[in-house]
Amino acid sequence: MPKHTKVTQREHSNEPVTESVADLLSLEHPMDYKSSQMSMGLSPGSTAPGKALLPSPDPDAEDGRPAWNNKLEYILAQVGFSVGLGNVWRFPYLCQKNGGGAYLVPYFILLLLIGIPLFFLELAVGQRIRRGSIGVWNYVYPQLGGIGVSSLMVCGFVGLYYNVIIGWSIFYFFQSFQYPLPWAECPIMRNGTQAIVEPECEKSSATTYFWYRQTLNITSSIDDTGGLNWKMTLSLLVAWILVCMAVIKGIQSSGKVMYFSSLFPYVVLFCFLVRVLLMKGAVDGIAHMFTPKLEKMLEPQVWREAATQVFFALGLGFGGVIAFSSYNKRDNNCHFDAALVSIINFVTSILATLVVFAVLGFKANVMNEKCVVGNAEKILGYLNSSVVSKDLIPPHINFSHLSAQDYAEMYGVIKTVKEDSFGQLGLEACVLEDELNKAVQGTGLAFIAFTEAMTHFPASPFWSVMFFFMLINLGLGSMIGTMTGITTPILDAFKIRKEILCVVCCVLAFLMGLLFVQRSGNYFVTMFDDYSAGLPLTVVVILENISVAWIYGTKRFMQDLEDMLGFRPYSFYYYMWRYVSPAVLLVLISATVIEMAFSPAGYNAWVEAERFLNYPPWALTMAYALIVAAMLPLPLVFIARHFNLISDGSNKLSVSYRKGMMKDISNLEEQDEQRFILGKNPSEAPSPMPTHRAYLGPGGTQEMTNTNYGTSTKTGYQNIGSPESEL
């Protein structure tokens, strides 16, 4: 109640009250009860029959926060962020490794148990609080405000090396504008008058040699830095210029870029799928991929890798999901968005897997035919030199048209008869299944296996240009989300022009990224990929889950969602957020720690062939320092807030929240004053906040009890004197 009103003065005065109630009411401002939000318990968004409320100011507009131009831009941004390089070169590898089609079952189950619920949670808190990752978790529970800082740190680490991969793709993209492709054949060396094939290339393959020697010019170990690789340095500079141009205007520029970068990869994938299905061996690859090995589903490792892939496929914990969602209107149906983006991500992974295995099936068929031809020539030589008797060759065998089946039959006969000396002949079995079982992932799939397959395509430069342009766009979409996850919290906290912040971030990132474009840079990319994100992000997400489900309260959060969305989410989410998701994440963290403890820490070095090497002590220290650096803000902020060493961040709330809180407090004082005049206790006044159905919990049997909001003295979510529905 205002301190200087007549009612207050009378209350504290010893003079007898001589005015009538009517006199007192005549001094107050008239109130239109018919159009009041309190009338008949109507919410601000509802109207009485036949009555129209005066238009109220849009809280989203009052906030002054940028907003998406339309829903499509926002969905494409979330899809572009979640669908990245991992969908193309990680998911197919896991599918092949963990039982083919059987792997899809644990993946889909875990997508439902942890993927969609946690994705929905991040979308909801970002949309309701309308802040970046730091502001959101400062607001939810200030003592866990380090969650947002850790997210920002991980975004920084990942962005540093992720853009290097885009730089590699840019280099291959420009190298593809020539025929034949530069990685199609091994280079020829001149030794006087004699021309010989490059020995390093002859021992491996043309595509492998081009990747390790001509692209990376890699050193033999991480200890030998080798200096800067200027081709890769220039490519990295181009990559950061592209990213800077895409995000320099915030969502106003990145939203436009997403129309192309999110949709173009699907065009390329469909074109590849149609083209490869017309080639020999593509069906063999797809059949090999979808042949389920059901026994694999019983292995814990399969479920752990499926959970990890679900976790990273949706971009949970990075802050990009929250940042993108914070630019939505508060009544946006984020539940629908969570389900839609998750399903699109899953379908994209399957589509990419179809394309990858169709291409690898075609490649395996080509390699198998080469194997048959090469070994048939060896057998002909042995026949001419009488090492192998002609009687061992089945009569129907025609060496000029030798099929894989004919060769397998001939190989079996020779192996049986020449059992003692068979090893000296040097013949290979040439089994198609063996070629298909050669599992490759990551850069090995994109820059070696896939590039080798494309050399056998008709019009191979065209397909190579399309493929690497697709990789650039996939990477760019993810980098836009990563950069938004970095810049949005900073812009929320400080008054900085986004253009200046963007340029400064990109310049600093380019300078720090020079670590990855040394000749030994690929080894550091592997280190950052293995250590900088995995464990820290899992810890970040479980703390996000706990802070909302257990500290703030799942029932309160569910009721907030009902107020925001206009409907009550399924009780399924209640159980997932409160019990299942934290349990699964805890198991995942434990499995990750155990794997790190018992697996050797090392990398694949190139010494004319790939060879696994352990990290030297300084590199191992650096790897663990990445984990510590990413997780250190969590305890530091907790301790600092616990002992009141730093502000709880309440002064960083959005403009619309502060206006809304002041308006609610003012309304409450006015209503208490009027109830006092009318002879009622202030506590009997109806709440000035919009009425809503009480959330009954998942069982629907016990009504949730509201607290006295006006007297709340808690911190974070609860320190603002507003109802629980104000998330």
Q: What are phi and psi of 414, to 5 degrees?
A: -65, -40
Question: Looking at residue 439, what is its pLDDT?
Answer: 61
Answer yes or no: is pLDDT of 407 > 90: no
Question: Looking at residue 605, what is its pLDDT?
Answer: 87
- Rounded Cα distance, 115 and 339, in Å: 9
DSSP 518: B
- Retrieve residue 668's tokens: 């409450």
Place of tokens 């389900």: 339
Answer yes or no: is pLDDT of 76 > 80: yes
- In sequence order, which residues have a C-beta less than 8 Å from that of residue 12 and are 6 or more positions away? none
Question: Looking at residue 302, what is its pLDDT?
Answer: 85
Average pLDDT, the chain: 78
Asked if residue 474 belongs to a known ligand binding site, the reply is yes
Binned at pLDDT 50, 70 and 90, residue 52 comes out as very low
Q: Which of 254-268, 478-492, 675-689 has the lowest mean pLDDT?
A: 675-689
Place of tokens 């807030």: 641
- Rounded Cα distance, 338 and 433, in Å: 39
Cα torsion 48, 51, 57, 61: sign: positive
- Tell me what the mean pLDDT of segment 563-590 comes to: 90
Question: Looking at residue 692, what is its pLDDT?
Answer: 39
Answer yes or no: is pLDDT of 608 > 80: no
- Rounded Cα distance, 533 and 514, in Å: 20
Q: Is 49 exposed, middle or buried (0-12, 13-18, 19+ CB in 10 A)?
A: exposed
Binned at pLDDT 50, 70 and 90, residue 32 comes out as very low
Cα–Cα nearest to 62, from 607, 658, 721? 658
Asked if residue 517 belongs to a known ligand binding site, the reply is no
Q: Which position has the higher pLDDT, 620 or 438?
A: 620
Question: Looking at residue 442, what is its pLDDT?
Answer: 66
Query: What is this structure's pTM?
Result: 0.78
Q: Which position has the higher pLDDT, 259 or 446?
A: 259
Answer yes or no: is pLDDT of 486 > 50: yes
Question: Looking at residue 687, what is its pLDDT?
Answer: 37
Binned at pLDDT 50, 70 and 90, residue 668 comes out as very low
- In sequence order, which residues have a C-beta less than 8 Å from that of residue 554 and are 6 or more positions away? 548, 574, 577, 578
Cα–Cα nearest to 322, from 487, 123, 135? 123
Which 3-state string (H, E, C) describes 109-131?
A: HHHHHHHHHHHHHHHHHHHHHCC
Answer yes or no: is pLDDT of 653 > 70: no
- Rounded Cα distance, 329 and 620, in Å: 46
Three-state secondary structure call for residue 15: coil
Asked if residue 255 belongs to a known ligand binding site, the reply is no
Answer yes or no: is pLDDT of 503 > 50: yes
Answer yes or no: is pLDDT of 684 > 60: no
CA 192 to chain centre: 54
Buried/exposed code over 487-503 (b: 16+ C-beta within 10 A; e: otherwise) = bbbebbbeeeebeebbe
Answer yes or no: is pLDDT of 548 > 50: yes
Cα–Cα nearest to 116, from 502, 577, 512? 577
Q: Which position has the higher pLDDT, 38 or 681?
A: 681
pLDDT digits (tens, 9 = 90+) for 104-149: 888 999 999 889 999 999 999 998 888 888 888 988 888 888 999 9
Q: Which residue type does 148 have?
A: G
Question: Looking at residue 507, what is its pLDDT?
Answer: 94
pLDDT digits (tens, 9 = 90+) for 190-207: 777 777 877 888 788 888
Asked if residue 545 belongs to a known ligand binding site, the reply is no
Question: Looking at residue 606, what is its pLDDT?
Answer: 85
Answer yes or no: is pLDDT of 469 > 80: yes
Cα–Cα nearest to 481, from 105, 101, 39, 77? 77
Binned at pLDDT 50, 70 and 90, residue 639 comes out as very high
Answer yes or no: is pLDDT of 474 > 60: yes
Binned at pLDDT 50, 70 and 90, residue 631 comes out as very high
* Residues of the chain above pLDDT 70, percent: 79
Residue 658: count of CB within 10 angstroms of its CB:
15
Answer yes or no: is pLDDT of 295 > 70: yes
Cα–Cα nearest to 468, from 98, 215, 99, 193? 215
Q: Which position has the higher pLDDT, 226 or 40?
A: 226
Domains of the chain: 71-366+439-661 (1.20.1740.10)
DSSP 519: T
Cα–Cα nearest to 382, from 327, 427, 337? 427
Answer yes or no: is pLDDT of 308 > 90: no
Q: Which position has the higher pLDDT, 540 or 388?
A: 540
- Tell me what the mean pLDDT of segment 511-516 comes to: 93
Asked if residue 599 belongs to a known ligand binding site, the reply is no
- Tell me what the mean pLDDT of segment 640-650 comes to: 76
CA 558 to chain centre: 25
- Retrieve residue 561's tokens: 């969602």
- Retrieve residue 611's tokens: 């060879």
Buried/exposed code over 525-564 (b: 16+ C-beta within 10 A; e: otherwise) = bbbbbbbbbbbbbbbbbbbbbbbbbeebbbbbbbbbbbbb
- Tell me what the mean pLDDT of segment 667-691 comes to: 43
- Tell me what the mean pLDDT of segment 349-376 comes to: 86
Answer yes or no: is pLDDT of 458 > 90: no
Q: Which position has the higher pLDDT, 339 or 197?
A: 339
Answer yes or no: is pLDDT of 53 > 90: no
Binned at pLDDT 50, 70 and 90, residue 666 comes out as very low
* Residues of the chain above pLDDT 90, percent: 26
Among 4-13, 290-299, 486-495, 709-718, the range of highest mean pLDDT: 486-495
- Tell me what the mean pLDDT of segment 17-39 comes to: 40
Q: How do strand 610-614 and strand 602-606 relate by DSSP bridges?
A: antiparallel
Asked if residue 84 belongs to a known ligand binding site, the reply is no
Q: Which of 67-71, 73-77, 476-480 has the lowest mean pLDDT?
A: 67-71
DSSP 57: P
Q: How do strand 188-191 and strand 194-197 relate by DSSP bridges?
A: antiparallel
Question: Looking at residue 546, what is its pLDDT?
Answer: 93
Binned at pLDDT 50, 70 and 90, residue 231 comes out as very high
Among 14-18, 683-687, 719-723, the range of highest mean pLDDT: 14-18
Question: Looking at residue 544, what is its pLDDT?
Answer: 92
Q: What are phi and psi of 131, to 5 degrees?
A: -135, 170
Give the length of the chain. Answer: 727
